[in-house]
Structure 1
Amino acid sequence: MIEYKKGYQIDSKNLKELYNSVGWIAYTQDLVGLERAITHSLYVVSAWHGEQLVGLIRVVGDGYTILYIQDILIHPDYQQQKIGTKLMCDVLETYKHVRQKVLLTVDAPNVRGFYESFGFESCDRGVAVAFYREY
């Protein structure tokens, strides 16, 4: 059974294991920075199977006019079990009053379908334009 928790109390070992499991090693090369990012997020919901962190969503923003979904990740062994759907639904319900909800992700058919199922539109198909800069 999956348990969902709101808040920031996630130890670095669990964070490292989850982020590494999906190949997001840029985050885990600076665990102190990742912990700070989690702590300074506007909202975090995590999914647990016993003592194992199996999913996480975190958002940044002001919580009134804009919300940026920074990370949503599910351990590969737990994907396709609606964990990501529950995490996303929680965020969208909690911040339903926020007009702009934004995210940036890789382009893949299953990724597009997932976000489009929540009403997100890709900027390459809509009237908005998106810009991105990574150092």
Structure 2
Amino acid sequence: MIRYRVRETVEFAALTELVRAAWGGQEDGSSWPGILARSLTWVCAYEGPTLIGFVNVAWDGGRHAFLLDTTVHPDHQRRGIGVRLVEEAAASARAGGAHWLHVDFEPHLAGFYARCGFGPTAAGLLRLG
């Protein structure tokens, strides 16, 4: 059984391992405390005691929230966990006062975010680094 926890304490080491498993790279976990301290909300998915999914919602302090880091462990993908994470995040953002939830994604994720209820929109991106 998968349990979803909204804005509860998360072990940063477990979150770092999840991100490494899903995205690769050398994430060291040092940025998570600062990121979550400024977030509107986040949602974690657990199977037993194991963190298997995560999504973060950043915001502007007003009406606009931004979905970031939607992550499901590769061993648990394609089971609806990601969609449920996004649904829980959207409900929590709405309850927190957000009126809009934005998400940026790569083209191969368009179907996933459409299943989550996101519609297409024109947007711009300026690479700063």
| TM-score grouping bracket, smaller chain normalisation | 0.7 to 0.9
Whole-angstrom distance in 2 between the partners of 1:106 and 1:134: 18
- 1:100 is aligned to 100
1:15 aligns with 2:30: no
Question: Which consecutive residues of structure 2, in runs of 5 or more, have no partner in the other structure?
Answer: none
Question: Between Structure 1 and Structure 2, how many residues are aligned?
Answer: 127
CA drift at 1:71? 1.6
CA drift at 1:91? 2.0
Whole-angstrom distance in 2 between the partners of 1:81 and 1:14: 21
- 1:83 is aligned to 81
Matches for 1:29-48 after TM superposition, within 5 Å: 29=28, 31-48=29-46
Q: Could you tell me whether the CA contact under 8 Å between 1:63 and 1:95 is conserved in 2? A: no
Task: Report percent identity of matched pairs.
Answer: 24
CA drift at 1:65? 1.2
TM-score (norm. length: structure 2): 0.84
Matches for 1:48-127 after TM superposition, within 5 Å: 48-62=46-60, 64-96=62-94, 98-108=98-108, 111-123=109-121
Question: Which consecutive residues of structure 1, in runs of 5 or more, have no partner in the other structure?
Answer: none
TM-score (norm. length: structure 1): 0.81
Q: CA RMSD in A?
A: 2.0
More RCO (CA 8 Å, sep 6+): 2
Give the letter aligned to residue 73 of structure 2.
H
CA 1:35–1:8: 2 relative to 1, 3 Å: farther
1:132 aligns with 2:119: no
